[in-house]
Structure 1
């Protein structure tokens, strides 16, 4: 029994390490100027190497390649089809084919990890730990060099000074672990002190990023998740009541301060055009396309159009994987959301609703649903929470009668 427990604990550590490597792979290589300049080629080598290591370790943990049925990972596998068709047929180059290989390795690692998706909060804890470690590096950069961490280039918003992270990235990571930690606290899966250690500094970093998408996504997704617990949790009802009261007070007493925070010094016109995003979106939709490009896109790229970031998951998918990709991504959101709504109220269901809602909200101003990204990891955690618990193996019966050994099999008998 002790040997079995030790093996299970060792495997759990490997699975946690694999998840951490996937998080590292999706951090990206473009962002702010760091204190110690890091060549982009070095960062790409580290991130891609982490994905190869994650896949290899997942094979070590799951050598017999035992997989669990998962509609989410199956749909991601199907998403590889338009990605490959567009990347090969449109002659997008080696960069697009490399991104297809990266997505295939990413999806393959998720398939190997699906064996441990059992509806429990294991991967929620992995998710919080890994992104909290990323935020700790951001906080360390802020302490070491406040000027580099809040440069004028980004309007004084918080960036990664040790690893090149942009304000939207930091805001996303902070919002996700805040929401998940609050839900674990409501579900009595963590204590108040541990929750405060995660939530308080993360809230501070989120405020310093001035990221509107992450803030709104956190508020709306957390409200939806807590609402799903209201009928079965007294703690959720208390938090919901206090949240409504605080929101009303803030709307009345701090409306001007909140408006100034959301505008970030921008004009009303610039705010209405979503900081110039709308111009890129209109140009992308107006660009002429062949039938193949319309169906399968132009190949996996860097989520930009005309040298400018697209900053919209649906338009980025349309540009790179066509309407076929949009249909598959929409199916992913609909299937996960539908399964979550059909499940009885529980902590796992609430966490899944939070993650799905957050990704759906953020998809309007952030790209990432069509390629290996933190958003696909968020949805993978949601899929693990919605998976049915694994059936336990039937217990052995020590008192069962033993079958007689035939004479020819008795090797100790002298003939």
Structure 2
């Protein structure tokens, strides 16, 4: 089945999915927004996204995808664990949200064709989110750089945390760089996105996003080095700039990286390791070990888990961990088997970034930006369907006159 031309409603639905995954908890905004109002907006965005996707795909035509199949299977441990109501009625609500989220992705898969259409949508939508962050910084620098977060950049118009902003900035920066190397955009267009995104990333002091950006680009550009002269030039210049920066600005980079933390605090990953140890040491029944305690707010003992694998283990059990690992492995394996191309490089960047960020960020087991990143990677790895071959036009049979037939007999 060939991919149809993408309607504008598909882009709108994708933007609504992005809005749904922004979350409702974060920094204090300039204009106080009740959490109930934010949740109403985000959930309304999800329902609207599903409605739009269904309206443009009434025939329910979808692209087969192992990634979406595994993501759908993830609903099973989520529902089984949440049905016990150990995590409260909120667990069932989150299951319903994840179900609608996955169903919307299935409906949008009709327009997966292995091209960069969803990459461009992804960049546009998150660039708009970063524009709101920049606007908040311009309107109220004090609210955007609060002491509560150690002077790190937060969302002053919408409650976004520094790790969220850093993630969005790093992802669209990496994708824009790859589009530039693949000659799918010009330098001016890329600079308009990359330069402000890098400035915002620096203001967030987000180490995970920075490492994910560098490592993801290294993997993606490395996949293009043998076939792209532009990739080879960029890789060479990047190594030279990194060497000069390490020598000339080593102390500044170290100070930025440490963020004024003590050695003990840095070693324990800002206290995350203590939460992880307590989570792993907690007693569990066989049912909880297999299927988890149900979808929650990705916290344990009132503290954020900040690790996708442990969050999935806590909420969806070892069954969920196995399914999430299979999703990453399938996407990575398919990407490695594809011939070098821009689509493959973008997919490798997104997969690598999500794999690295999963160590200190939660989200791989529930509706989140990370699942949207992996969905874009899956859309890039779809093999374009061959155009149906047209049958050769029938050649009209030439009628032989009777006199010619008699002459042939004689």
> TM-score normalised by the shorter chain: which range applies?
over 0.9
2:23 to 16, 25, 28: 28
Q: What whole-Å deviation, never above 9, does each CA across 1:52-83 have from its counterpart, x for those lacking one?
A: 00000001111100011001110000000000
Aligned to 1:404: none
TM-score for the superposition, normalised by structure 1: 0.93
2:203 to 192, 200, 208: 208
| Bigger Cα Rg | 2
Q: What whole-Å deviation, never above 9, does each CA across 1:342-387 have from its counterpart, x for those lacking one?
A: 1000000000000000000000000000000000000000000000
Q: How far is the alpha carbon of 1:92 from its aligned partner?
A: 2.7
Aligned to 2:267: 272
* Residue 176 of structure 2 is aligned to residue 172 of structure 1: no
Measure the CA separation in 2 of the matches of 1:84 and 1:375. Answer: 21
* Residue 53 of structure 2 is aligned to residue 58 of structure 1: yes
1:187 to 161, 175, 182: 182
Aligned to 2:77: 82
Aligned to 1:217: 212
How many residues align? The count is 394
1:11–1:61 Cα contact (<8 Å) kept: no
1:31–1:165 Cα contact (<8 Å) kept: yes
1:314 to 309, 314, 317: 309
Measure the CA separation in 1 of the matches of 2:186 and 2:7. Answer: 22
Q: Which runs of 4+ in 1 moved over 3 A?
A: 8-11, 393-401
Unaligned runs of 5+ in 2: 397-410
Aligned to 1:98: 93
1:349–1:386 Cα contact (<8 Å) kept: yes
**1:319-334 → structure 2 map (5 Å cutoff):** 319-334=314-329
Q: How far is the alpha carbon of 1:93 from its aligned partner?
A: 2.2
Measure the CA separation in 2 of the matches of 1:12 and 1:97. Answer: 33
Aligned to 1:37: 32
The RMSD of aligned alpha carbons is 1.5
Measure the CA separation in 1 of the matches of 2:395 and 2:289. Answer: 65
167-176 or 253-262: bigger deviation: 253-262
Aligned to 1:406: none
Unaligned runs of 5+ in 1: 1-7, 402-415
Aligned residue for 2:83, secondary structure, equals helix
TM-score for the superposition, normalised by structure 2: 0.94
Measure the CA separation in 1 of the matches of 2:283 and 2:188. Answer: 56
2:5–2:111 Cα contact (<8 Å) kept: no
**1:10-409 → structure 2 map (5 Å cutoff):** 11-89=6-84, 91-395=86-390
Q: How far is the alpha carbon of 1:112 from its aligned partner?
A: 0.3
Q: How far is the alpha carbon of 1:90 from its aligned partner?
A: 5.1
Measure the CA separation in 2 of the matches of 1:398 and 1:57. Answer: 41
Measure the CA separation in 2 of the matches of 1:396 and 1:89. Answer: 59
Q: What whole-Å deviation, never above 9, does each CA across 1:230-281 have from its counterpart, x for those lacking one?
A: 0000000000011111112222222211110011011011001000000000
Q: What whole-Å deviation, never above 9, does each CA across 1:144-190 have from its counterpart, x for those lacking one?
A: 00000000000000000000000000000000000000000000000
Q: How far is the alpha carbon of 1:390 from its aligned partner?
A: 2.8
